[in-house]
Amino acid sequence: MSNAALSAKTIMVQGTTSDAGKSIFVAALCRCLKQQGINNAPFKPQNMALNSVVTEDGGEIGRAQAVQAQAAGLAPTVDMNPVLLKPSSDTGAQIIIHGKVVSDMQAKAYHDYKTVAMNAVLESHKRLEQSYDVIVVEGAGSPAEINLRDRDIANMGFAEAVDCPVIIIADIDRGGVFAQLVGTLDLLSPSEQNRVKGFVINKFRGDISLLQPGIDWLEERTKKPVLGVLPYLMDLQLAAEDAINAEQAVNPKDQRLVIAVPVFSRISNHTDFDMLRIHPQVELHFVRQGDSIPGCDLIILPGSKNVRSDLQLLRDSNWDADINKHLRYGGKVLGICGGYQMLGQTVCDPTGIEGSIGTSQGLGLLPVTTELTETKQLTQDTGHLLLSSTPKSKNTPITGYQIHVGKTQLAVNAHAMIQLNDGTFDGCISDDNQVAGSYFHGLFDTPEALSEILLWAGAKVDVIETYQSHQEKQLDYLANACHKHVNWHALHNIIGIEATLP
């Protein structure tokens, strides 16, 4: 525990819009404060995301908070994201409190449940206060969403409850940054406006002197300082929270192995593909709805929060025909979690876990059947691959985590893809070695496993750095930009701490 635990400080970052840069800026602050010798932790009261991770104690939180925890030099815990909402439809979501599933709720029901959720949020924040000097909080969306202000727990509702200062960040690359900042501020109540201590402008490119007249006007108009203008870091490669970043999706086209990933409506954990995005010998394509799957070496079906619905989308998009054609030409297909379930014979939902009760026919490419159940599996696992790409592949170590409902039954004599260290098995490989599936998220994060899977798909690849070491370099790169372009003297005063810059 920190010596200053009883006087822990909290600073909150809110944004003018979704994807304004809140998650990345909080990660930057966590790494910068760590480098300044400040014991800090990230916190997001409520996160709505389909990208999640499993904590060491078997809880589930948003992926962004795991990245922020790494930035602070910590293992992620459920207290860093006490409320996680995983959308299962346009109006409903799975509600996860302190890492465990509570229920599936429609939007109206969850609105009535927010007082319970707020208690969980404040409990977690209090526990973090007892262990860290500074809590760096990330808001959600925009604090100026008028229809969401009642019983708000994600933005100003939380800031008012814990009496913390707020910084508002806006993305200038979208255009209209001054309207975003002034408009957001004007829509806040007087007490909330007083809580805002400054602004950060994100993703600026060009001559800063040309922006200065606008900054001067903004500071005069609002009587609040611009604390920093962060540059557009074109080559930053950190896990995105939810939206797939097309700018990071494809490596140069002269690379060897071409991989295509169909994008489902309820795609989950697309960060599974982060190591493929940056691999120098991989060309990665995300295939949007309405587009055909292009010629490639490997098709990967990603996870899904609503497997039967996305399986129907796959058929409606004619992707099933594209997959069969791909296999006829000798290509490989890999399914992850929900994508693995789709590759089987049937997906049965006898109690309506993901919506309507019923059974959907799978693609019939693996000898497995899946039944969705009430119990959610949340585990961190280690084992070794059972692929047959090279003689040594069956000794290749792999680590990952499982987040799924449902039990998948393999047919007699079916071949598993992974043997876990406890002697159990995961996944399946077809007899012809063309199709494989696994429940493992983080399948590509272990360098040796990534190389073996790419070899199985037909590439000649080198072992590259681990996902963790890559993230470390990216976080340091981000922190260097933050150190350089943020007024740290002013920020320290806002937080209420004294620190020495590195």
Residues with a catalytic annotation lie at 337, 441
Per-residue DSSP letter, 147: G
Cβ(276)–Cβ(285) under 8 Å?
Answer: no
Q: Is 92 left (phi over 0), alpha (psi -120 to 50) or beta?
A: beta
Q: How do 358-361 and 346-349 pair as beta strands?
A: antiparallel
Q: SS3 of 375, please?
A: strand
**What single letter denotes the amino acid at residue 379?**
T
Count Cβ atoms within 10 A of the Cβ of residue 404 and give its class: 0-12 exposed, 13-18 middle, 19 or more buried: buried
**What single letter denotes the amino acid at residue 380?**
Q
| Whole-number Å distance between alpha carbons of 28 and 236 | 12
CA dihedral sign of residues 93, 19, 291, 301:
negative
Map tokens 């047919």 to a residue: 411
Cβ(141)–Cβ(40) under 8 Å?
Answer: no
Copy the structure tokens of residue 54: 């499993």
Cβ(85)–Cβ(48) under 8 Å?
Answer: yes
Q: H or E segment at 380?
A: strand 368-385
Per DSSP, the chain holds a count of helices (H) and strands (E) of 14, 26
Nearest to 363 by CA among 286, 262, 287: 262
Cβ(71)–Cβ(109) under 8 Å?
Answer: no
